[in-house]
Amino acid sequence: MEYEAFLEREHGAAERETFVCDTEGKALWAMRKWATFRRALNQRVQDYREELDRLERWKAEEDRRDLGELAYFEGLLHGYFDRLRDQGKLGRRKSHRLPLIILQARDGGPEFERNESQLVPWAEAKGLVRKEVAWAEVKRRLKADGDLVVDLTTGELVPGLTVRYRGEAFSIRLVEDGSADEGERHD
């Protein structure tokens, strides 16, 4: 290190803006300085990546543990909600408020299973096919009526779709300071 300090003084670090690498000695000095900073930078990148890996492992472990705990307590709360409903304590309400949370049950609604070979010709005739069926546009026009699917625009039955009703979706919302964060939905 003393030698580096000597070279620093000799080659004028204070004169950095005017320093010119015009001799072999100055080039060797500049090379050593460059190598020192490159090693420091590489080491910092390596240290950062190692620390980031440790943090990611820690986060994954903590998340895995907490998700398991959440699932356990959500199961308990879902059971409590079902007991309230079975006992008639909820009436026609689909939610129950506790001091920190709101327990909710919502109808899962219909889910459409598509038979493309039947659906595509129908959608093509309606101008609802680009390279494939424009499902988002088609879905906005649909209404499930039991096992039948009706096009709300024309009133006709839509071929190639089967209606399957999803079960009830249960969710828990956290309520803090007057705000509500949407919890996970559990179908």
pLDDT in tens, 17-52: 678 889 999 999 999 999 999 999 999 999 999 999
pLDDT band at residue 12, thresholds of 50, 70 and 90? low
87 and 1 together in one domain: yes
127 falls within a domain: yes
Q: 41 - beta bridge partners?
A: none
Looking at 66, 92, 118, the residue that finishes a domain is 92
Per-residue pLDDT band for 184 (boundaries 50, 70, 90) equals very low
**How many Å apart are CA 79 and CA 81, to the nearest integer?**
5
Asked if residue 173 has pLDDT above 80, the reply is yes
| 152 pLDDT higher than 60 | yes
Buried b (16+ CB within 10 A) or exposed e, 23-51: eeebeebeeeeeeeeeeeeeeeeeeeeee
What pLDDT, on the 0 to 100 scale, is given for residue 70? Answer: 92
- What is the largest distance, in Å, between two alpha-carbon atoms of the chain? 93
Query: Residue range 128-154: average pLDDT?
Result: 84
Instruction: Please tell me the chain's helix, strand, coil percentages from 3-state DSSP, rounded to the nearest 5.
Output: 50, 25, 25
Nearest to 141 by CA among 130, 153, 155, 132: 153
* 35 belongs to a structural domain: yes
pTM flag (> 0.85) = no
- Residue 103 within a domain: no
Q: How many domains does the chain have?
A: 2
Please name the residue ranges forming H helices in the chain.
Answer: 2-10, 24-86, 116-125, 135-140
Residue 187's CB: how many other CB atoms inside 10 A?
A: 11
The residue written with tokens 């179908």 in the block is 187
Give the position of tokens 């680009």. Answer: 130
Determine the pLDDT at residue 63. 94
pLDDT computed for residue 49 by the predictor? 94
Average pLDDT over residues 122-150: 84
Confidence of residue 16 (pLDDT cuts 50, 70, 90): low
- Position 187 scores a pLDDT of 44
Question: What does the pLDDT read at residue 73?
Answer: 93
Domain co-membership, 6 together with 88 = yes
Regarding whether 83 and 115 lie in a shared domain, the answer is no
Look-up of token digits 């909600």: 81
Q: Which of 179, 176, 163, 186 is nearest to 79 (CA)?
A: 186
In a domain, 153, yes or no: yes
Phi first, then psi: what are they for 85, rounded to 5°? -65, -45
